[in-house]
A and B are shown apart, each in its own frame.
Chain A
Amino acid sequence: NAGVTQTPKFQVLKTGQSMTLQCAQDMNHEYMSWYRQDPGMGLRLIHYSVGAGITDQGEVPNGYNVSRSTTEDFPLRLLSAAPSQTSVYFCASSYTGVTNTQYFGPGTRLTVL
């Protein structure tokens, strides 16, 4: 099993550009989520999904879109990047519900100039 994979590992954008962060898991997990990690802030939930076709907002959803067309994939889209979105982004997955072990990807470090 590859576990949770994220691409790219690093990305530099200019303000106003759009991009998609990819996340995939091969464990047949129903629950998937996106977090951002900022210095001194811990991890904050952006969006999550409890299964294919179902998504919901987390604590900091503004500026981000998600969709879940398959169980395996959960891409995160930045529609118009802003410097405030400079962060490290982590995707995570688990069997149903957060009380099950969350498996995290290795992260994407995004810089917006």
Chain B
Amino acid sequence: GDSVTQMEGPVTLSEEAFLTINCTYTATGYPSLFWYVQYPGEGLQLLLKATKADDKGSNKGFEATYRKETTSFHLEKGSVQVSDSAVYFCALSVYYGGSQGNLIFGKGTKLSVKP
């Protein structure tokens, strides 16, 4: 079936370090891919998305490219800040058989950024 696998955490980085959080997927149809972020004590917020192969989503300095050949959607940021400390979720929705499937979430990766 359709699924998302993302890198387990927690991840601890120093401020201004480079961030990569890996996400791979399996899909029976045409996937759309998302990264959601959850700040402490809050609900999730959409960070970025990509709905077709080779699309790059970007927001707030974060980027992710939908790579069909490697079935991946890795999240990257060149220089993290303390305010980026949060839990990051990769998510997938698959279009198949004439209908769009519901969101399937990865387990989440907790990021802590130290000053």
Contact = CB atoms under 8 A, between A and B. Distances in A.
Contacts of B41: 106
Interface residues of A, number: 22
B41 to A, nearest CB: 8
Interface residues of B, number: 20
A104 B105 contact: no
Interface stretch (A14-22, A42-50, A61-69, A71-79): A42-50
A58 B100 CA distance: 13
A97 interface: yes
A87 interface: no
Interface string B35-47: 0100001111110
Nearest to A90: B43
Given A48-B102, A97-B100, A99-B93, A42 B108 contact: yes
B51 interface: yes
Contacts of A44: 105
A104 B44 contact: yes
Interface of B: 32, 36, 41-46, 49, 51, 89, 93, 100-103, 105-108
Interface of A: 4, 33, 35, 40-45, 48, 58, 90, 92, 97-99, 101-102, 104-107
